[in-house]
Amino acid sequence: MNKTVLLQDLGHKDYKETWDYQESLFKGIVDTKIKNRREAAGLETPNYFLFVEHPHVYTLGKSGDMDNLLVDEKVLEEKGAKFYKINRGGDITYHGPGQIVGYPILDLDNFFTDIHKYLRFLEEMVILTLAEYGLKGQRSEGETGVWLDVGTPFARKICAMGVRASRWVTMHGFAFNINADLGYFDLMIPCGIKDKAVTSLNVELGKPEIDMQEVKQKLLRHFEPLFDARLVKEKAPA
């Protein structure tokens, strides 16, 4: 089993370009697994972890409801935002500047074949990171992602998650609000969950801006032991 995970920070990148890149990495792993099964080739499957920051964009999962986008295309255009229907689970999600988006593209045969466990570990990575900032991140029963003040009238989501998996290979991932413009969340019903607020790390800490690179390092420091993985930084493609 290959426990090495190739880390690429894509910087600021268009959502569709990143989606296409994810698909290419995903397909490469799946194709290798098919070859191994058909030909007993014994080839090692790679694993990837992509960081990216997207321009304003709304994405709707395959089980999502279009009614959860509260504005039309004209308003999105005025706001400088794009919209895509995509092949992950979950409902509607916003990505934009000031948000850390992480896409682990892992062959879970290298780690454990349990999607529920995979999602809980991603949540735990964020929960442990929040704890380093003095915040108590929590899970909300029946709702994937990480929240604050669960079970109170002040419950608010700080990290959304939505994944796709095929042949135990994952793609898509999480969106962690760090310095996000929360006004963009008003244009949708986040994750299709009504009457729940959204927040950002800088808001919770009462600071104008949080160091994004620092947060990334904390996330990765928790990812490695949770997944028993070894991260190796790799230059992102141009």
Quickly tell me which residue has 């370009």 as its tokens.
17
Whether 191 sits among the annotated catalytic residues: the reply is: yes
Helix 212-227 × helix 115-132 angle, to 10° = 140
Residue indicated by tokens 């990505």 = 95
Short-list 8, 176, 206, 3, CA closest to 94? 176
Q: Which of 213, 79, 193, 99 is nearest to 141 (CA)?
A: 193
Pull the structure tokens for residue 207: 């600071």
Cβ proximity of 138 and 123 under 8 Å: no
Give long-range contacts, CB 8 A cutoff, 24+ apart: 115-124: 115/163, 115/165, 118/163, 118/165, 118/170, 119/144, 119/161, 119/163, 121/226, 121/227, 122/161, 122/173, 122/174, 123/159, 123/161, 124/222, 124/226
What's the CA gap between 7 and 236, in Å, rounded?
Answer: 8
Q: From the candidates 191, 198, 219, 220, which is the catalytic residue?
A: 191
Torsion of CA 23, 174, 89, 74, to 10 degrees: -90
Amino acid letter at 126? V
- For residues 140 and 25, give the distance between their C-alpha atoms in angstroms, rounded to a whole number: 32
Residues acting as catalytic residues: 191
